[in-house]
Structure 1
Amino acid sequence: MSDHPKPKRFKNMFAFYKKDVDNQTSTPVASETPMPCSDCHSSLPIKEIETPSEHDTNVPPTVTNVPIESPIQADPGLREMIYSLPVNHQDHIRRQYILMGPCQPKLQNYPQTFDGRNNRRFQYRWFTLFPWMEYSEAKDIAKVVLDNAPKHAMYIAPSIQKEILDIIATKIRSRIRAEIGDAKFCILVDESLDVSHKEQMAIIIRFVDEDGFLQERFLEIVTVEDTTSANLKKHICIVLSRNNLQVENIRGQGYDGASNMRGQFHGLKTLFLEDCPYAYYVHCFAHRLQLALNACARDLKDIQEAEIAESLADGNLETGKGLNQIHSLKRACMTRWGSHFASISTLVHVFEEITQLLQSMMNDKDLLGSVRGDAKGYLKALRAFDFVFCLLLTNKVMGITDLLSQALQKQSQDIVNAMNLVSSTKALLQALRDDGWNSFFQSVLRFGENHGLEMPNMDAAYSMGTGRGCQQHNVVTNEHYYHFDMFNMIIDVQMMELNDRFTEETIELLIWSSALDPKNQFKNFDMEKICKLAEMFYPEDFDASEVIALRLQLEHYKYQVVFDKDFQKLSSLAQLCRRLVETDLAQLFPLVDRLIRLVLTLPVSTATTERAFSAMKIIKTRLRNKMEDGYLSGCMMLHIEKQYVDTIDSDEVIDHFESIGDHRAQFRYSILYL
């Protein structure tokens, strides 16, 4: 028993640091290295722990001064990131920096820095106010060491971030309000459901700024309990009052055609007209055009077969998103502007691919018999001459109206130019009806030959129904049927819808406004109409004496502007307004300039509100469906009016943040010099 070695006892933490008398003299003492001063840039040796050998179990580890590759730098601008250093040295280096304290050198003159407006320089007294601040002499920057900064005042809480976001959004609204100034404005309003099924109302302000540019600015998005006209007006008035905008200065209203918006007795437009009789309502032109196109498409029975073929091929052809949908079928939508023309034109482009797809489905024995039967029926309908004729004719008609549709979706479109586009669209459709039959029919024949379609004999009698004799009432030739009963009928339906939706004869305001239009070398210029426009529609802005003065100004305006060759090159009222400001003629003819600005304020479409809802879908998603209303409005303001963000001064935001309440630490310089 005595020959066996005595078992070793496991040492605890206290036994490891217990003094060993036998080895006390052999243990070297680690020498402490003095800390450098705050403005010293020399390297520091780092204490390294030497692990004792395996047999010397009672010998404590020794510490030697071994420098590491990355020396400690007193200047914060020259330091390496601690995470980039060896893992075994990171904790010790971090402790060394803490023991050193912040680097606060006292220089005789700190260098100046231009911040965009003034020359600024660092102040030594800031070290007294903010003892946790460091200064880099090498890079001339001041920074906050997070290890020395107050842990309770880092300003990274979500509530603080929302508060700062609200301050920036408020600053942007103030900039927009400053741009409006004393000018008259128009309101564009629309509502839509968000992802959390809340009814959101977007408010857009349309006005002409001091430089003569027509602007449409996002003001706010508001959650409404219901969409009654009284409730919508209440929220709109609250937003206008909050931004110091008076209802009496409204000179236009732009909504869609919903009953709660355009109602004759209790609609939103009627409620505002009671408070301001000069807030003229204009139904969204783009919405009118979409309704006209949809009404024309519903009258075409064969177009439904096109939608069936599209839905059949939609899951099998290439489907892209955004700009990748050029060569793939696009899903048509009743409320999506321009989508029907894109769907039909794409169907014409991929007609051969769809035919081959249906043929392969019809011959595929792995599919169910019902599916193959449906594919055979769709293929027969797709290659029928009636379908191809209606497809190409609809593509032709919607191609003419597509330019008007795209123009109405542009921001800041003036109403006179929009009415000119409507007139030109009607003229093109009428020209197609009168002189376009021969060229169109030749294009149909070429399309049929290229795709191997069976073409009917145009001199033969047209067969109605199934071709039975009892169904043939009016015997006409195929050419007569397709020319008069199809070609002319479709164009007539489209013309009728456009005339019903865009009735120029009933919009007297637009007729008088066209007298200011510089298009075609001021062809419609009429002094009497211009004076009647100011006298009849804007008596609040032009009293009797100013109407007389307007007539006198128009006399000089005619010779200095209307007869000027540079002004005769202009094509829109918005360009005329900008040119008057650029040439200082707006100050010479202030009453004419005022009237032009009032006409430009009239709304054209609510495309800007639709873009606001598109931004809302990007910001408030399914995973962020519990966003607060104020937070959503602030995010949308920064997203839509992002051009204002760079113009917001950081000092103003910091001062505003400090003024709204007591904070645990100074916020200004800790953010300004990060």
Structure 2
Amino acid sequence: MGKPKTLDSFFKKKKNESHSEVNTNTPLATEIEALVTDKRTSKCPRLIQPEEMDATTFQRDSGLRPQIWEFPVNLQDEMQRAYINACPCQPILSEYPFLGEGNNRRRFQASWFNTYSTCLEYSESKNAIFCLQCYVFAKKSTGRLGSDAFVVKGFNNWKKASDKMNNSLIGHVGKDPNLPHKNAVKYCEDLMNQSRHIDKLVEKQTSQEIENNRLRLKASVDSVQWLAFQACAFRGHDEKPDSKNQGNFIELIKLLATYNDDVSGLVLENAPKNEKYTSPKIQKEILHIIANKMWDMIRKEIRDAKFCILIDETQHESKMEQMAIILRFVDKYSFIIERFFPVVHVNDTIAAILKKNICVILSCYNLQIENIRGQGYDGGSNMRNEWNGLQALFLRDCPYAYYVHYMAHKLQLALVAASRKAKHIHQFFIQLASIINIVGGSSKRHDELQAVKLLKLKV
């Protein structure tokens, strides 16, 4: 049994083969030589490049020039514009040659140039007239756009050209708007009118769409900002078009639309179905962008100063754990400031997971753990335990981050418990809230009012 052949053996040249042994008179030899030398002639004609255009390509004499469809596709638009810009070829001769015999001898009249100044061309080589617009937009598929005589062969029946009853020139130009010549004139106007080109129209349409989208989005952004500032709910229980109350967000956009006709014509039912910018996903995305801007401002306000962290966690209605972060620092005017930082969803409330999430948030805004100078938590074992609690984990990284029990939390728990047991205490806080509403004034009173409202909600 012989040695099995490998795949490479089929592509190796045999020892007794060489180019000299191939019969150069056979078609196969010619094909091999063409492959080796890479000089096979292409069956596709080479396209003329714009830089190769010269006097032979652009011919003024209408009887000698090639037809538009004979030019390469990449040059046809350029040639059309070139011939239109050059205007019709209308040579004024001292004497035009006659055609016919005896009394039927006729010749071209130069006065026809005045009557048909925009389209009539005269060819000295063929002693015939042509139509410039029909030539520029003639197509090979039909052989002509206006008349074959005015495009390819040329028209030289001077008797019909001067006949008042059956004038071929008048018949070619005509008055019917659907005539081929009228269509060619319209095509020329469109070609030379840059403002009506497709790219210009698309650009104009795109600019208008961008402007409409920005105005539509601005209405949604303004609504989100107002609702977030007032701590109001965004969505309602029933947001269908026939609902009497579609929720704060939709109703606020409706209110904005009543004050501005431009907004009214672009939002809600007047907006495209895929560009309403009112879906819950869009609302959350806008909120997220606003929150990021706010956190960046807080970071700039802190600068490189030392700060304290106040942490608390709770469950929302979906039974998911949330951790709220508050930063306490001294601003550049030496005032103590507390800023609410993001609420983070956590998988568990054990100290290690809480510390990991806090470090991730602080590192995202380039806040160093080494700059922490205080920790404020509640009295839970996962927070205050001196060995494995959250405060102990931070003390290992930063020994100056002293832990202080969140005494305000104790006060809040005491007040809530007292309000539940004693109705007169509950009435006291209601009356206190009313007094603060009447007096109004300073930001301190505003903070007190917010605290009382929060307490009332928890009661």
> Taking CA–CA contacts closer than 8 Å with sequence separation of 6 or more, which of the two structures ends up with the larger relative contact order?
1
User: Greater CA radius of gyration, 1 or 2?
Assistant: 2
Fold equivalence (TM over 0.5)? no
TM-score by length of 1: 0.25
Q: TM-score scaled to structure 2, two decimals?
A: 0.35
